[in-house]
Chains A and B, each alone.
Chain A
């Protein structure tokens, strides 16, 4: 009986605080994405020639994001029947956008205008452990370029 109460409490805490935190996180992501819109992000391997002769540097952004108790239980139940695990989809989406934002913030700090050759990587931290916490690391990295004064032809 006691165990059941604890379980229900955990699920409820996960559901309530998890939802609040997720909403808050999405709000902050949207706000920062709007603020950093001027930094262009490309996955192309090389910048166009009119970016030539400028300074460049490696920028990275990473975040470790964890699932909440409710999401874990919901995903566990959903995986019995299969299909989309929406609770994890939003989690990974949040993490990835956060990682890209952090990369952009680092580029903005250096005064860069664009990031090229952006690569995204995801890794789990708790492989091979039976009762570990569910979390994943998202990493975004790329080459930030600072455009000099001769940036005619670069359409904004």
Chain B
């Protein structure tokens, strides 16, 4: 999934300013979100894993994939309005119903220029 990110060649950061770069244009809020439901088989496995405890790898993977998806949707949106960076990126997760969660990534689309 990391290849997906690099193919965009867009800067992403969760800080408001970046040292060495100047914001030349401010393009407003961009966001990307995805709603994922848990796979039945994964749910069963997670139920069994709940007896012994520990990491639920299936869910970790699922959420990571979804988060990358949300990020790339945000990047697409930023690219469409002519930004070359998204700063101040935030993540948010919410449960819609039991078994499905929404992952949201949002940030400010800007045009950055390297200084000096």
By a CB distance below 8 angstroms, the chain A residues around B67 are 60, 62, 139
A113 interface residue (CB < 8 Å to B): no
By a CB distance below 8 angstroms, the chain B residues around A62 are 60, 63-64, 67
Cross-chain pair count, CB within 8 angstroms: 140
A133 interface residue (CB < 8 Å to B): yes
Q: Tell me if A69 and B50 are in contact (CB < 8 A).
A: yes
The A contact surface, by secondary structure, is mixed
Question: Which residues of A does B touch, CB under 8 Å?
Answer: 10, 13-14, 17-18, 21-22, 25, 45-47, 49, 51-54, 56-58, 60, 62-69, 71-72, 91, 98, 116-117, 119, 121, 123-129, 132-135, 137, 139, 141-143
Nearest CB in chain A: distance from B76 CB, A: 16
By a CB distance below 8 angstroms, the chain B residues around A132 are 98
Q: Tell me if A65 and B52 are in contact (CB < 8 A).
A: no
Complex: how many Å from CA A96 to CA B115? 37
Question: Which residues of B does A touch, CB under 8 Å?
Answer: 11-20, 38, 46-47, 49-56, 59-60, 63-64, 67, 71, 89-95, 97-99, 101, 114-116
Complex: how many Å from CA A13 to CA B47? 14
Nearest CB in chain A: distance from B26 CB, A: 18
Given contacts A58-B12, A62-B60, A129-B98, contact A137 B20 (CB under 8 A): no
Nearest CB in chain B: distance from A134 CB, A: 7
Instruction: List 25 interface pairs A-B (beta carbons < 8 Å), by A numbering.
Output: A10-B51, A14-B51, A21-B54, A22-B54, A25-B54, A45-B15, A45-B16, A46-B16, A54-B19, A64-B56, A68-B54, A69-B50, A119-B90, A119-B91, A121-B91, A123-B93, A123-B95, A124-B95, A127-B98, A128-B95, A129-B98, A133-B49, A135-B50, A139-B91, A141-B91
Complex: how many Å from CA A78 to CA B16? 43
Nearest CB in chain A: distance from B97 CB, A: 7
Q: Tell me if A58 and B89 are in contact (CB < 8 A).
A: yes
- Report which residue of B12, B17, B53 has the largest number of chain A beta carbons within 10 angstroms of its beta carbon: B53
Q: Tell me if A64 and B60 are in contact (CB < 8 A).
A: yes
Q: Identify which of B11, B12, B99 contacts A129 (C-beta below 8 A).
A: B99
Complex: how many Å from CA A126 to CA B104? 18
Q: Tell me if B13 and A58 are in contact (CB < 8 A).
A: yes
Q: Tell me if B54 and A66 are in contact (CB < 8 A).
A: yes
Known: A68-B52, A133-B49, A139-B67. 16 other contacts (CB 8 A): A25-B55, A47-B19, A52-B19, A53-B114, A66-B46, A66-B54, A66-B56, A68-B51, A117-B13, A117-B15, A123-B95, A126-B98, A127-B98, A128-B95, A137-B60, A143-B14
